[in-house]
Amino acid sequence: MVSRRRFIQELATATGAVVLVPAVSRCGSSAKPAVRAASTPAVRAPELLPVPMIPTQDWDALAFNRKRGNQGAIPASYLPDINGSEGDTKHLGKHLPFVPDVSGIAVPSGYLAIMWGDPDKGHAPHPNAEPGPENNNEGHWYNWIKVRKATTDTADEAESTYASWPVVAPGDSGAYAAPHGADPSDDDGRKTIYLAALPADVKPGDRVRIWAHCLTHGEYVDFLTLPV
């Protein structure tokens, strides 16, 4: 049996990526605002909806992220798009995670494969891009993904970081992959699969919360079920 460490080393070798052990924090409450106040006391942090630990019975990811986005979790420049007539499918939906078909690729133990914008739901696939004029030279990709078991109990939260794309940077704790035969940068980056670290206290079939940040378009929250 291949150990997790060796598997990660092999992944790094195969992809040219550097894969490190993810940062894991344990906390009972993660309902903290993502945007903090500036150092001047006169500036107050925006009031954001708390990020729920478990989905509400009538959980509606589009509605939740639209509301929280309008409160400040999504840049003001993107609000006309998310509030527009195609906001659900082309903008909010584009930023919601789903578990892709990973047949033909190796997902290392302890990691979850994620893509954004599920075509099966009619959502636009999320593109990714290197820094350039069209993205204020900041790049367009998810630069952090936090995964936590969907529970109100105390739980670990694993955070994967991505300082560059389409290849992770030294020190990054996440990794990239692509559907079999593809490259992450194919189709304007729509083939990118994010490999996000799982906390140690989850098992196949568990519900997890995905809280992630797109460099260009802000924060998004949703829940996924881990593959069995």
**Residues whose CB falls within 8 Å of the CB of residue 138, separated by 6 or more in sequence, listed in order:** 131, 215, 216
> From the list 19, 155, 214, 221, which residue makes contact with Fe ion (rule: CB under 5 A)?
214
To Fe ion, the closest distance from the beta carbon of 76 in angstroms equals: 15
CB nearer Fe ion, residue 149 or residue 213: 213
Closest CA to 48 of 227, 218, 224, 173: 218
Using CB under 5 A as the criterion, what x/- string covers residues 156-195 for binding Fe ion?
A: ----------------------------------------
> Taking contact as CB under 5 A, which single stretch among the options 47-55, 58-66, 183-191, 216-224 is the one that binds Fe ion?
216-224
Residue with tokens 């069995």: 228
Please answer whether residues 98 and 118 qualify as being in contact, where contact means their C-beta atoms are separated by less than 8 angstroms: yes
Q: Where are the alpha helices (DSSP H) in the chain?
A: 4-15, 61-68, 79-82, 186-189
Q: Would you state the structure tokens that stand for residue 97, as one six-digit string?
A: 């995670």
Region binding Fe ion by CB under 5 A among candidate stretches 2-10, 37-45, 54-62, 206-214: 206-214
Q: How far apart are CA 79 and CA 67, in angstroms?
A: 10
Scanning 3-11, 30-38, 175-183, 209-217 for contacts with Fe ion by CB under 5 A, the matching segment is 209-217
Which stretch in 43-51, 80-88, 107-115, 213-221 sits in contact with Fe ion by CB under 5 A? 213-221
Among 17, 217, 218, 222, binds Fe ion (CB under 5 A): 217
Give residues 62-121 in contact with Fe ion (rule: CB under 5 A).
none
Shortest distance, position 32 Cβ to Fe ion, whole Å = 22
**Residue 148 binds to Fe ion (criterion: CB under 5 A):** no
Instruction: State CA 140 to chain mean position distance.
Output: 13
Residue among 178 and 214 whose Cβ is closer to Fe ion = 214
Closest CA to 20 of 195, 171, 177: 171
Half-sphere exposure of 34 (CA within 13 A, CB side): 22
Question: Which chain residues interact with Fe ion by CB under 5 A?
Answer: 214, 216-217
